[in-house]
Amino acid sequence: MPSMRQSYTVTVPEDPPAAAFPFLKPDLRRKSSTMSGSVLVSTFVGLLINQAKNSKHAQGLVGLRNLGNTCFMNSILQCLSNTHDLRDYCLQNSHRRDLNNNSRANTALMEEFAKLTQTLWTSSSSEAISPSEFKTQIQKYAPRFVGYNQQDAQEFLRFLLDGLHNDVNRVTVRPRVQAEDLDHLTDEEKGKRMWKKYLEREDSKVVDLFVGQLKSSLTCSECGYCSTVFDPFWDLSLPIAKKNTGEVSLMDCIRLFTKEDVLDGDEKPTCYRCKARRKCTKKFTIQKFPKILVLHLKRFSEARVRTSKLSTFVNFPMKDLDLREFASDSSTNAVYNLYAVSNHSGTTMGGHYTAYCRNSTLGEWYTFNDSRVTPMSSSQVRSSDAYVLFYELSTSSRV
Q: How many residues does the chain have?
A: 399
Q: What is the DSSP letter of 300?
A: B
* Burial group, residue 349, by CB count within 10 angstroms (0-12, 13-18, 19+): exposed
Alpha carbon distance 145, 136 (integer Å): 9
| 71 catalytically annotated | yes
Q: Which of 84, 226, 274, 352 is catalytic?
A: 352
Are the C-beta atoms of residues 140 and 108 closer than 8 Å to each other? yes
* Burial group, residue 14, by CB count within 10 angstroms (0-12, 13-18, 19+): exposed
Alpha carbon distance 263, 222 (integer Å): 13
- 236-238 and 292-297 beta bridge pairing: parallel
Max Cα–Cα distance, the chain, nearest Å: 75
Alpha carbon distance 57, 54 (integer Å): 8
Are the C-beta atoms of residues 262 and 277 closer than 8 Å to each other? no
Q: Which of 71, 220, 253, 271 is catalytic?
A: 71
Buried b (16+ CB within 10 A) or exposed e, 362-373: bebbbbbbbeeb
Q: What is the DSSP letter of 309?
A: B
Dihedral sign, CA of 239, 244, 250, 255?
A: negative
Alpha carbon distance 65, 395 (integer Å): 34
In angstroms and rounded to an integer, the radius of gyration of the C-alpha atoms of the chain is 23
- 280-288 and 212-220 beta bridge pairing: antiparallel
| 253 catalytically annotated | no
Alpha carbon distance 303, 81 (integer Å): 31
Bridge-partner residues for 309, per DSSP?
300
Backbone φ and ψ for 234, nearest 5 degrees, come out as -100, -25
- Catalytic residues, which ones? 71, 352
